[in-house]
Chains A and B, each alone.
Chain A
């Protein structure tokens, strides 16, 4: 089954996909167009992977990592399907990253990869935008590149794990304004989802609602204000967003390191 979280008539609802409509918990059927789509889960700890597809690593002229390159994301960065992602006025390169997201369903500590599938509740799609101008070589990729407000659309659906028999063999596509710009398959991940669950749970506890964004294949290109970006993963759905201009605000002191005084 496919699940969404939506706002409708001033209330937040859990909704299930049914015959092209959304079925609310109270039984009403509504049209997707009537809903405001929210992230299908309210994530607590969110892990993301850098350079987890060897073709994308080589595209960015990096060696494929020997150990998962993991970073974390905060709740400020997530928005729902059909949301708007702000592009700061000063960036020269902002690229989408279509990613399969695995949602943890049971607490996991020291779990072996053979057992990992029992700990997954389901899957969704994330678009983990990066703003390359802000890359610096400290805790790279840093939060200024990867945790900006409203810069990670996620959804539309949380699809039950039982409905995705082989998450490690799904076609992925991204379209910008209807044109196919990225194509890949989850089979090309360097570190598979079961491996990532084993790796992370070997040193920390994973909790229900935690999410792992598993990285993106090659084919990331710059995007512009007004672009409509659609990330598609086989069996999971299509996640759409548009890019808007970030409003300029009077906050002149941003971005310059004051350095050492005295």
Chain B
């Protein structure tokens, strides 16, 4: 059984329970539910920081380009970005396709949720500051260049679904989790957090060297190479071993009237 915390049925407070990930069941206060019977909102309320190019394959994908303008050399420090408040969304909520865009990139990321204020922490102690883990879809409008900050591509309303819940950190080795992405039930991406350039403790140490992570903040471990693209109507499921499955459907942005 997996220990979870979740926001259910529109309530702000977190409830604790257990999940049976293999059978899609959740138990709260001794009552068992099927996952699909429950309405989840995002378990995250703090600041969300994403990490670019933290999978070995993702950096390889950029290849020789890193030695040429505009990049000129491979990155040294972690490359971070913010998924702001308006992007927060949850399990089963739609992800909207803007006008003129046909496909969105699905960023399967392990979300590391902090339980204690973390600043200047060492690699050895880093995981003590973690409260738990969740599944995140770090959605982007596909874009080639990573030279300038990605606000227009990554910060649209609802572009950071997370959940359905957070899993208590005890018993989880975040550097050894498999990740699968399914679109309409078909496996389209597979990777493993053992392929990270910076392991989770190392990433936490390097980030908190220059900025504080507060309780409730979430750091994303990175997006694996070959991020799949989804189009209107696609149902996307991101599965992370021992953490859970996050499902969302891509929809055209609603413009009013019946012309959807």
Is residue A186 contacting chain B, with contact meaning CB distance below 8 A? no
Specify which of B70, B71, B214 is in contact with A75 (CB 8 Å cutoff). B214
The CA-CA distance from A250 to B149 in the complex, in Å, is 30
Q: Which of A112-120, A157-165, A254-262 contacts B (4 or more CB under 8 A)?
A: A254-262
Interface string of A116-156 (1 = CB under 8 A from B): 00000000000000000010111111111001110000000
The CA-CA distance from A73 to B82 in the complex, in Å, is 7
Interface majority SS on B: helix, strand, loop or mixed?
Answer: loop
Collect the chain A residues with CB atoms within 8 Å of residue B73's CB.
136-137
Is residue B97 contacting chain A, with contact meaning CB distance below 8 A? no
Is residue A44 contacting chain B, with contact meaning CB distance below 8 A? yes
Measured CB to CB, the nearest residue on chain A to B47 is A74
The CA-CA distance from A23 to B109 in the complex, in Å, is 48
List residues 72-86 of chain B with CB under 8 A from any CB of chain A.
72-82, 84-86
Is residue A223 contacting chain B, with contact meaning CB distance below 8 A? no
Is residue A253 contacting chain B, with contact meaning CB distance below 8 A? yes
Collect the chain A residues with CB atoms within 8 Å of residue B213's CB.
76
List residues 112-148 of chain B with CB under 8 A from any CB of chain A.
119-123, 146-148
Measured CB to CB, the nearest residue on chain A to B80 is A143
The CA-CA distance from A259 to B120 in the complex, in Å, is 22
Is residue A45 contacting chain B, with contact meaning CB distance below 8 A? yes
Interface majority SS on A: helix, strand, loop or mixed?
Answer: loop
Given contacts A136-B77, A261-B56, contact A71 B149 (CB under 8 A): yes
B197 near A250 with CB under 8 A, answer no
Least Cβ–Cβ distance between A233 and chain B, in angstroms: 25
Least Cβ–Cβ distance between A142 and chain B, in angstroms: 6
Least Cβ–Cβ distance between A39 and chain B, in angstroms: 15
Given contacts A72-B149, A137-B70, A140-B147, contact A251 B209 (CB under 8 A): yes
Number of interface residues of B (CB under 8 A): 51
The CA-CA distance from A259 to B77 in the complex, in Å, is 11
Q: Which of A4-12, A52-60, A169-177, A199-207 contacts B (4 or more CB under 8 A)?
A: A199-207
Interface string of A71-97 (1 = CB under 8 A from B): 111111100000000001000000000
Is residue B236 contacting chain A, with contact meaning CB distance below 8 A? no
List residues 204-262 of chain A with CB under 8 A from any CB of chain B.
204-207, 249-251, 253-262
B86 near A207 with CB under 8 A, answer yes
A136 near B210 with CB under 8 A, answer no
B209 near A254 with CB under 8 A, answer yes
11 contacts between A and B (CB under 8 A): A69-B148, A72-B82, A77-B211, A134-B210, A136-B77, A137-B70, A138-B79, A140-B147, A140-B148, A254-B205, A254-B209
B interface list, Cβ under 8 A from A: 47, 49, 52-53, 56, 59-60, 70-82, 84-87, 98, 119-123, 146-152, 155-157, 197-198, 202, 205-206, 209-214
Q: Which 9 A-B pairs have the closest CB atoms?
A: A254-B209, A45-B84, A72-B82, A71-B149, A143-B80, A138-B79, A76-B212, A249-B120, A257-B76
A interface list, Cβ under 8 A from B: 44-45, 47, 69-77, 88, 134, 136-144, 147-149, 203-207, 249-251, 253-262
